[in-house]
Structure 1
Amino acid sequence: MSRFSRRTGLILMWLSAAAACADGQPEQARKSRLQSLSEVQALEIKPRALQIRGWKTLTGTKVLFVRTSDLPMFDIHLSFAAGSARDGSLPGLAATTFSMLNEGIPGKDLSAIVETFDGLGAQWEMDIDHDRAVFSLRSLSDPAKRLPAMDLLTRIFSEPSLSAQRLPPVKDELRAALIAEQGDAAGLASQSIKALLAPDSPYSLPVYGTQWGLNAVTRAAVEDFHRRYYAARHAQITLVGDLTLDQAQAISLQISNALPKPPDALVSSAMATPGNVQSSHLELNQLQTHIAFAQISVPRRHADHTALYAASQILAGGSNSRLMNELRHKRGQVYDVYGASVNWAGGAGLLTVTLQTGSSMSDSTVALVRSMLNDFLRQGPTAPELEHLKRRLANRNVLTSASNRHILARLVEINRYDLPLDLDYTMQQVQKLTVDDIKLAMNRHLSVDRWVSVTVGPSVEQQPLPGPEVAPIGQAEEDMCRADPGFVAS
């Protein structure tokens, strides 16, 4: 018998055992099989022994570092306040400058840079949004690998070629990216929401700018943008991995000392000022309609942010959220619903709910979601909903905190928003919340008449939503049972 046949046979045996369990076991015996799940829910939360070290270089670069020695490698995350919110009168300038950094340094073009990093076993990534330009590198800690990798990374920021010959093809690539974005329903919904909430700010425009803005970008403008915003005082460095404190400090100094040092301080990007339009539809020929709801909220450092983050998760985060229960488990209308409370628009915040559904029922779905959002703002969460969120976040905290990448992601958030030096800060703050805390925070900052909505999809004949099922699918979880120990799926 082949390995595949043996595995198939074991799976069939397991399925047969599960069916027998469902048909032949008393209710009490079946429920007792789920004892291990209750043990996971009661998981004790213990602080980790990881110490966060922080400092600022003499040239003004903020640095955070956590040492982990399980693997002989390290991750560095370097970001600059050089996102598209600083485009000024040239939408696309930030993205052009960012892309030009990817075009080479004296003596090495892009192919040579990639070949060098590959030869060192290093992984290099780049990203840009409205607020920041981000560069990350994963490298081995061995000095024979680390030192040349860091030397090359430092030169990319401090000695970019910014050649006149590479400017036209870079602008062509960005123009193509803008055209491609017109077919991305999720991206269009997200950007359209921002345009409704901040119509007169850079946040109303795509990160890659506009066609006319890209046409007007010159090499001199790129050089000036690099000198002003890719500067030591506008940089943040986050390090995690197998480095000593001395090595981490040496890396931060190497980068900071090599960056431009302009005399001017960073000017805050424009704040969001909501417009008057409350809803918008974008026509796009596809099978489903993307739906987004949002309203301006509080920034990440605000005292009420944790309560509003918890509200967004109870409402639209995870398989047991209020919207998921109604739209998927009871009505089968969506695959998933996403809720978020994020920093946005020059120090404001943004609370969003996004989903997609069949286009023939998009109007009725929008009406139902708006009604549920308003009910939630008026009534707040229930005590069981809050307790479920606390357990879920505590368990997820353990699952998403073991690797260097997980630790780095949390440390970057701490660095970016000047949060307390505690990797478990957000989770611990959620554990302290009460139902009243969340209700009061929503009353202070959110309103039923401030939701804006966007739909992206085709205009088709509309149908009413199906009614909710009497018995939610979630009830099936209580009836699940495990196969007998003798049957194991390979």
Structure 2
Amino acid sequence: MHVDLKPGPPATRVARPYVFPEVIRRGPLIAADLPGCPIGYAALLFDHGVLHEPAGKEGVLQLLFAAVREGGERLGRDELAFELEGMGATWSTTVGDDFVLVATVAPTAALVPAVRVIAETVRRPRLAADAVARIRDGQLSALAANWSKPGRRQEAALARVLYQSGRQAVPLRGTVASVGSITPGFLSEYHRHHIAGTGRLVLAGDLAGIDLDMVVEAGAALGGPMALGEAVAAGAPRSVPRPAVGRDFVVVDRPGAVGARIALAHHVPVDAASVHAPLTVACHVLGGTTHSRLARELRDRRGQVYEVSAGLQLTSRSGVFSVRTQTGTETAGEVVATVLQEIETLRRGGVTADEFEAARALLTGQFPIAYLTPQAVGIALGCLASLGGTDDFHSRKYRELASLDRTSVNEAAGNQLSSSDLTVVVEGEARPLLASLHSAGLGPVRTDDEGRA
């Protein structure tokens, strides 16, 4: 008997639109119901993030929550670990631009006691002077060591160029000078003022098996009624973007480097939400996958890079378009020139119909995957609560992406992307890099020597 193994035409299917789980708000609690999920995510949300850190004390939140892991008044570090392990729970900290999430992931039945343990520890940490000094010294050693790693000096230089002043002009984890200035006494006062009596609660899981009032009560342990902290009312100061004044070529010297790290970036309007979805598609076409324009040109045809990426970094206060790659020192100038040319080609000519359809299909297909776990949903809820978004924020983002047309993508690329007002930062051995950039006709080029670990 003959069996035809040749597949027939695929069945016609209509993709079901993605809908973010229903958001439930109850006082200081924001939650999402995930029916049938045996694991839950719960987090204390503090509306005080990196952008709120005082000048000269950058890195204080990273240090504070590293010190909090040493334990609280009731449970020390080891006792805390045993207590959570006995519940089948873990805990983690996410320090963001506008908020901090201190979270536990645990079986649904253990969420309430796990939240209580985390809340007790975070609100009444030990913060012993010797422990704080030890952790601070460890972070100082790490900052100094990381400065020798590829890319650290470049990122610091890029931040200084993109922002004239403000927190975003300083690396996320601070500097040796800023972290070194934080005393145990300052850290305790900082915790008391911004963390101890504030906070809200984020919850994602099968709510049918969870008493929400008990979760809120556990989250308020040792902190009194959960409420917004002072930082929310005051708001974080905005970093001041540096005005675009044409191309700015910067070389960051890293003696002995065997290659070049390249970053090209400029600001995009963070308040123009309507352009975020079309710009995401445009960036994907430019440098989002191994089939992107930059990958085909720089990797497949020229063999000058292994990988290259283009994308948007968006926060509540800033938006940055960037392209990043690595190459040999001698080919750095040619790679930069090619990237500039491809950006201009995209800006002027837009994306093709095939590129648009492929990018939109991939991005809409990936969108739901980003929210498959309780942790992912919980962090998304934390962002939603901290930034004041509407309950349909994530569902609306999907709809905006799915309903895009090619015209809107091309308009956004033409109006928002630029090859003439870019900051170009190249890290590597300065002398041959300068020669490579000049030979490609790029310049004027300046050398950045302001960076410090």
Q: Normalising TM by the smaller chain, what interval? A: 0.7 to 0.9
Structure 2 SS opposite 1:334: coil
Change (3 A) 1:251 1:335: farther
| Structure-2 separation of matches of 1:403 and 1:86 | 29
TM-score normalised according to structure 2 size: 0.82
Q: Aligned match of 1:429 in 400, 403, 424? A: 400
Deviation at 1:436? 2.4
Q: Distance in 2 between matches of 1:329 and 1:292?
A: 20
Q: Which has the larger radius of gyration?
A: 1
Number of matched pairs:
423
Alpha-carbon separation, structure 2, partners of 1:396 and 1:174:
36
Q: Is the Cα contact below 8 Å between 1:193 and 1:454 reproduced in 2?
A: yes
Q: 1:270 maps to which residue? A: 238
Residues 147 and 341 (structure 1), Cα distance of their counterparts in 2 relative to 1, 3 Å cut: same
Residue identity (%): 19
Alignment of 1:129-140 (within 5 A): 129-140=96-107
Looking at structure 1, the residues matched to 8 and 261 of structure 2 have their Cα atoms a distance apart, in angstroms, of 37
Task: Give the TM-score of the pair, scaled to structure 1.
Answer: 0.76
Deviates more, 1:69-78 or 1:313-322: 69-78
Partner of 1:116: 83
- Check conservation: 2:202, 2:382, Cα contact below 8 A: yes
Evaluate the alpha carbon distance shift between residue 259 and residue 166 of structure 1 in structure 2; reply closer, same or farther with a 3 A threshold.
same
Distance (Å, rounded) in 2 between the aligned partners of 1:50 and 1:129: 22
Matches within 5 A, 1:353-368: 353-368=323-338
Between the aligned partners of 2:359 and 2:154, the Cα distance in structure 1 is 27
2:330–2:436: 8 Å Cα contact kept in structure 1? yes
* 70, 95, 107: which one aligns with 2:74: 107
The counterpart of 2:281, out of the listed 286, 310, 315, is: 310
Q: Deviations over 1:284-328 (max 9, x none)?
A: 344432211111113277222222222222211122222122122
Aligned to 1:243: 207
Give the 3 Å change call, closer, same or farther, for CA 283–109 of structure 1 in structure 2. farther
Instruction: Give the match for residue 195 of structure 2.
Output: 230
Q: Distance in 1 between matches of 2:398 and 2:19?
A: 16
**CA 1:64–1:298 in structure 2 vs 1: closer, same or farther (change >3 Å)?**
farther
SS in 1 for 2:273: coil
Q: Does the alignment pair 1:451 with 2:422?
A: yes
**Gaps in structure 1 of 5+ consecutive residues:** 1-31, 465-490
Per-residue deviation at 1:368? 0.9
- Residue 190 of structure 1 corresponds to 155
Alpha-carbon distance in 2 for matches of 1:106, 1:82: 23
Tell me how far apart the structure 2 counterparts of residues 166 and 357 of structure 1 sit (CA, whole Å). Answer: 43
Deviation at 1:150, TM superposition (A): 1.3
Give the 5 Å matches for 1:330-345: 330-344=301-315
Task: Provide the C-alpha distance between the structure 2 equivalents of 1:392 and 1:34, rounded to a whole number of angstroms.
Answer: 24
Change (3 A) 1:50 1:428: closer
Return 212-221 or 309-318, whichever deviates more.
212-221
AA of the residue aligned to 1:66 = A
Instruction: After superposing the two structures, state which structure 1 stretch, 161-170 or 385-394, moved more.
Output: 161-170
Q: Which amino acid aligns with 1:196?
A: V
Query: What is the rounded CA distance, in whole Å, between the counterparts of 1:155 and 1:307 in structure 2?
Result: 45
Write the deviation string for residues 135-174 of structure 1: whole angstroms up to 9, x where unpaired.
Answer: 22210112xx333311111112211122223221122122
2:186 corresponds to which residue? 221
Q: How does 1:334-483 map to 2 (within 5 A)?
A: 334-344=305-315, 347-397=317-367, 399-417=369-387, 418-421=389-392, 423-459=394-430, 460=432
Question: Match of 2:64?
Answer: 97
CA distance in 2: counterparts of 1:429 and 1:196, whole angstroms: 32
AA matched with 2:35: S
CA RMSD of aligned residues (A): 3.3
Matches of 1:33 and 1:336 in 2, distance apart?
35
Q: Given residue 324 of structure 1, which amino acid in structure 2 is its aligned partner?
A: A
Q: Which residue of 1 aligns with 2:51?
A: 85
Assess if the C-alpha contact under 8 Å between 2:90 and 2:105 holds in 1.
yes
1:263 Cα deviation from its structure 2 partner: 5.7
**Equivalent in the alignment of 1:11:** none
Indicate the larger mover: 113-122 or 246-255.
246-255
What secondary structure does 1:396 align onto?
Answer: helix
Would you say 1:156 and 2:156 are equivalent positions? Answer: no
Match of residue 447 from structure 2? none
Matches within 5 A, 1:40-59: 44-47=14-17, 51-55=21-25, 57=27
SS across alignment from 1:335: coil
Equivalent residue number for residue 471 of structure 1:
none
Provide the rounded CA distance (Å) in 1 between the counterparts of 2:338 and 2:400: 31
Q: CA deviation at 1:337?
A: 2.0
Between stretches 414-423 and 446-455, larger displacement belongs to 414-423
| 1:335-374: CA deviation from partner (whole Å, max 9, x where unpaired) | 2222222223x61212222122223312211111122122
* Cα gap change, 1:148 to 1:198, in 2 (>3 Å): same
Q: Deviations over 1:257-277 (max 9, x none)?
A: 754766672332223321668
* Distance verdict in 2 for CA 1:263–1:87, change over 3 Å: closer
Shift of 1:77: 4.0
Tell me if the contact between 1:86 and 1:94 (Cα under 8 Å) persists in the aligned partners: no
Contact 1:84–1:209 (CA under 8 A) maintained in structure 2: no
The change in CA–CA distance for 1:170 and 1:438 in structure 2 (over 3 A counts) is same
| CA separation of 1:50 and 1:316: change in aligned 2, threshold 3 A | closer
Q: Could you report, residue by residue, the CA deviation over 1:110-132 in whole angstroms, capped at 9, with x for unpaired residues? A: 23222322222212222334443
Contact 1:230 1:259 in 2 (8 A): no
SS in 2 for 1:119: helix
Change (3 A) 1:212 1:404: closer
Q: Displacement, 1:432?
A: 1.7
Contact 2:112 2:215 in 1 (8 A): no
- Runs of at least 5 residues in structure 2 that lack an aligned partner in the other structure: 1-5, 438-453
d(CA) in 1 for partners of 2:312, 2:132: 37
Q: Secondary structure at the match of 1:455?
A: strand
Quick one: which amino acid aligns to residue 211 of structure 2? Q
Q: Which amino acid aligns with 1:107?
A: R
- Describe how 1:4-83 pairs up with structure 2 within 5 A: 44-47=14-17, 51-55=21-25, 57=27, 61=28, 63-83=29-49
Preserved contact between residue 166 and residue 238 of structure 2 (Cα < 8 Å): yes
